[in-house]
Homo-oligomer: A and B are copies of this chain.
Amino acid sequence: MLEHTRIARYDKKRVVIIGGGFAGLELAKHLEHADVQVVLIDRNNFHTFQPLLYQVATAGIEPSSIVYPFRKIFDAQKNFYFRMAEVQAIDTQKQIVETSIGLLNYDYLVIATGATTNFYGNQEIQSKAISIKSIDDALALRNTILSNFEKALQIDDADQLNSLMDFVIVGGGPTGVEIAGALSELRKHVFPKDYKELDFVNMDIHLVQSGPALLKGMSDKASKKALEFLQTAGVKVWLNSRVKSYDGYNIMLDTGTRLCSRTLIWAAGVSADFPKGLEDAIHRGRIAVDAYSRLKNHPNIFAIGDVASMVTDEYPDGHPMMAQPAMQQGKTLAHNLRRSMAGKSMKPFAYNDQGSMATIGRNKAVADIRILKRDYKTQGFKAWFVWMFIHLFSIIGFRNRLIIFINWVWSYITYDTGIRLIIGGKHENVPVENATEKVVV
């Protein structure tokens, strides 16, 4: 039998937040002066700044620069309690969260569990591809990329060699575009110096996108410029193409094209990740909420961020699964909880879309930005500079900001990246049957 967790009870109401991503973090911060006990549960002891995971995966920055310990963020917040735990289920009747470390009562419950990689039910791809939703994923990808070249040094057979040196990225959203861009930079400036024995004419970077354009949701101009930047950098972009199967070596597209790679990077989609016990609230794979982020039939349960679907006229499928709506929902909910406890009416959430961006490489990015209700669309150096500036100042912690800044300036000046290390996260390539790894003296 599960026992209760050991968090002191006060006469204050307890708000339990499940998940310390952008949404949960903003909510917890903005409850600092609320007369409640805030309990944050996360499976990690740190917040991850997901927009820069791709730079960890491509050896540009160290993992510790984009994560930040929850306990340190909330050192000074007296009503805050953290527990590192996995949530197993919600008992809405008893108002209890069942976790890996025990039971936890709640007065208010906020689901901010975010999203996980969506393989659209394809088990084969799921077991063999690499996704990039967590620090562990990013490290596994970094180690795989570097290990591939170490292995390639021992291979004579041209097909086997190519399968190690080629990379296939699935998904033409910001993550897919940014990884493809970063790999092409490495191919140009870094790998040939490190692996002088390999011929990098042999290294192909493929980007597979199901739709007719990259960066869906951004402006036409941004999509077209991103495609142009990638193609100029030598990335092979396959539009209107879906991956049908992957056996660890052969990648079959629905267009009939066959690509070969031991590394399939899956950035093709996300799906909401929610605990058991809320089945009655699920609508099209996300938790349906009203304009106050509240679940139908559960007036004291809320959902914010990627996991929540708040249907509005402007967003009939809910808000985009991105950092901005998540942060804004977290902040709004904090205010609404305080208003509600003070006997005031809650205010409906209104999303302030500030636009989006993606970086393709050195001096190359695309940005659709909305400031003070005016739209700015820019591509190239200016967009790249804005991208860097905004990401740098979104990172938590002055120390992290400084270290990322140094890494970026360093890489910019030297055309080099420092973190080409095979440490930590593992992903085993699928050994291919009948592969002849012929090696000579």
- Residues on A lying within 8 angstroms of B by beta carbon are 3-9, 44-46, 62-65, 67, 69, 71-72, 75, 81, 83-84, 101-103, 105, 135-136, 139, 146, 150, 153-156, 193-195, 197, 397, 399-400, 402-403, 406-407, 410, 416, 418-425, 438-441
Partner of A406 from the list B64, B403, B425 (CB cut-off 8 Å) is B403
Q: Does B5 contact A154, Cβ atoms closer than 8 Å?
A: yes
Q: Does A194 contact B69, Cβ atoms closer than 8 Å?
A: yes
Which chain B residues border A197 with CB–CB below 8 Å?
7-8, 81
Residue in A44, A83, A155, A424 whose Cβ sees the most chain B Cβ within 10 Å:
A424
Q: Does A195 contact B71, Cβ atoms closer than 8 Å?
A: yes
CA distance in complex: A424, B75 (Å): 24
Partner of A400 from the list B5, B418, B420, B425 (CB cut-off 8 Å) is B418
Chain B nearest CB from A154 CB (Å) reads: 5
Q: Does A6 contact B440, Cβ atoms closer than 8 Å?
A: yes
CA distance in complex: A146, B70 (Å): 13
Which chain B residues border A195 with CB–CB below 8 Å?
71
Which chain B residues border A419 with CB–CB below 8 Å?
64
CA distance in complex: A71, B194 (Å): 5
Q: A63-B423, A71-B195, A75-B194 are in contact. Are A4 and B397 (CB under 8 A)?
A: no
Residue in A197, A397, A407, A421 whose Cβ sees the most chain B Cβ within 10 Å:
A421
Which chain B residues border A424 with CB–CB below 8 Å?
139, 423-425
Q: Does A5 contact B406, Cβ atoms closer than 8 Å?
A: no
Task: Identify the closest chain B residue to A143 (Cβ).
Answer: B45
18 more CB-based (< 8 A) A-B contacts, given A6-B153, A6-B441, A69-B421? A3-B438, A5-B154, A6-B156, A9-B441, A45-B150, A63-B421, A64-B423, A69-B194, A71-B194, A72-B416, A72-B418, A83-B153, A84-B422, A101-B154, A136-B423, A397-B418, A403-B406, A424-B424
Which chain B residues border A63 with CB–CB below 8 Å?
62, 421, 423
Q: A75-B193, A154-B5, A423-B136 are in contact. Are A105 and B441 (CB under 8 A)?
A: yes
